[in-house]
Chain A
Amino acid sequence: EAGVAQSPRYKIIEKRQSVAFWCNPISGHATLYWYQQILGQGPKLLIQFQNNGVVDDSQLPKDRFSAERLKGVDSTLKIQPAKLEDSAVYLCASTPDYHEQYFGPGTRLTVT
């Protein structure tokens, strides 16, 4: 079974620029999550989708972050404009049952 795919793996941008990350979850997994992991910390949930609907986006900085999951499969996370403190690894995860989550390799974002 193919795992969760993410791209790009690395991205370097200047502050105030925009950036987008892509995630393809495991086939058949209805629930998809985006996490932000700052160096030395645990992942923090940004947004949770159930199919193509948002379940929880309470920790998403909506003034600059947006996410969508068209057709309930792939998802994109966008940051516009980026700030220095957005430097982190952005992890995508999916699950069929709200229990074990399957994580992708992450996208390491550096904002200079």
Chain B
Amino acid sequence: SQQGEEDPQALSIQEGENATMNCSYKTSINNLQWYRQNSGRGLVHLILIRSNEREKHSGRLRVTLDTSKKSSSLLITASRAADTASYFCATDGPSGSRLTFGEGTQLTVNP
């Protein structure tokens, strides 16, 4: 079964609004990553947060990690139509162990 579970499954917002996606996982992790997938394309790495970090920023992205709740959130600020894509969280254990992806959140940003 998948380690990560994203919530919501689908999210539709207007351009300029913020989008928040959540990810929950079951077992201890080493790192948590977020990826984006545009329709018909491969996945693109967005950001990695280590288990000893609580928050990380990259441009318009903000990721938080709460290891006590086994959850993470991805915030995209000032969304654009080009942000329309599926977003996946992925977790790994000890270095070299498999990366396990969640089911993804489909984000639609309406112009």
Contacts and interface: CB of A to CB of B under 8 A. Distances in A.
Interface of A: 4, 33, 40-45, 48, 50, 55-56, 91, 93, 98-106, 108
Contact of A45 (B45, B100, B102): B100
A99 B48 contact: yes
For the complex of A and B, list the 10 residue pairs with the smallest distance between their C-beta atoms, beginning with the closest.
A103-B42, A42-B101, A100-B45, A103-B43, A45-B98, A105-B42, A43-B101, A42-B88, A42-B103, A42-B102
A50 B95 CA distance: 13
A11 B35 CA distance: 25
Contacts of A105: 40-42
Interface in B2-50: 2, 4, 31, 33, 35, 40-45, 48
Contacts of A40: 103
B42 to A, nearest CB: 3
Q: Which of B35, B43, B95 is most buried by chain A, counting CB atoms within 10 A of its CB?
A: B43
Given A99-B31, A99-B33, A105-B42, 7 more contacts: A41-B104, A42-B4, A56-B98, A91-B43, A93-B42, A103-B44, A106-B42
B82 interface: no
7 contacts: A42-B2, A42-B104, A91-B42, A99-B33, A100-B33, A101-B45, A104-B42
Contacts of B90: 42
Contacts of B45: 100-102
A45 B96 CA distance: 13
Nearest to B102: A42
A33 B45 CA distance: 15
A35 to B, nearest CB: 8
Contacts of A99: 31, 33, 48
